Amino acid sequence: MSITARPLLGPLLLALAGLAVAAPDAGNLEALRGSMHLDRDPAPARIADPLKDQGIQDREYIHQPPLVPHQVRGYEVDLKVNQCLSCHGWKNAADRNAPRVSPTHYESRDGLTLSDISPRRYFCLQCHVPQTGAKPLVENTFTPVESLR
């Protein structure tokens, strides 16, 4: 250990000890998987089927990505194919009566407009999710932004 690192060791150890003391209820936390031991995997839960053809869903907060109002199971989205764009790309959206991909999805991270979907926006289901009738995993009291009610 270098001579310059030694003076930092004491305050670092004190800070770490303080973190351990600051979380007295840490032993009372319960995981979403319940009391299942970590060395055993529970049977995977089946995700509820999406609500089918619900039309455009209202948004709950500003900048919320639109929800997908239809089934996407089996859609091919990989490095070579994006089946979402067969309907939602600018070329086909009008013919398919589908919303067009936002112009923001054609911008690079540097703000340049590209001729095709930006690589950082290519995998649609990272942000756009199908709506389901599933119950929330945890209780919450979320209410939409006032201007969207």
Q: Could you list the residues known to form a binding site, using ranges.
A: 70, 84, 87-88, 105, 124, 127-128
User: Can you say which residues are annotated as belonging to the binding site for heme c?
Assistant: 70, 84, 87-88, 105, 124, 127-128
Q: How far apart are CA 137 and CA 25, in angstroms?
A: 21
Q: How far apart are CA 65 and CA 119, in angstroms?
A: 17
Could you tell me which of 86, 81, 108, 109 has the C-alpha nearest to residue 96?
86
Could you tell me if 67 and 124 are in contact, meaning their C-beta atoms sit under 8 angstroms apart? Answer: no
Could you tell me which of 55, 49, 56 has the C-alpha nearest to residue 71?
49
- Look up tokens 């770490």; give the residue: 16
Question: In a 3-state reduction of DSSP, which class is residue 113?
Answer: strand
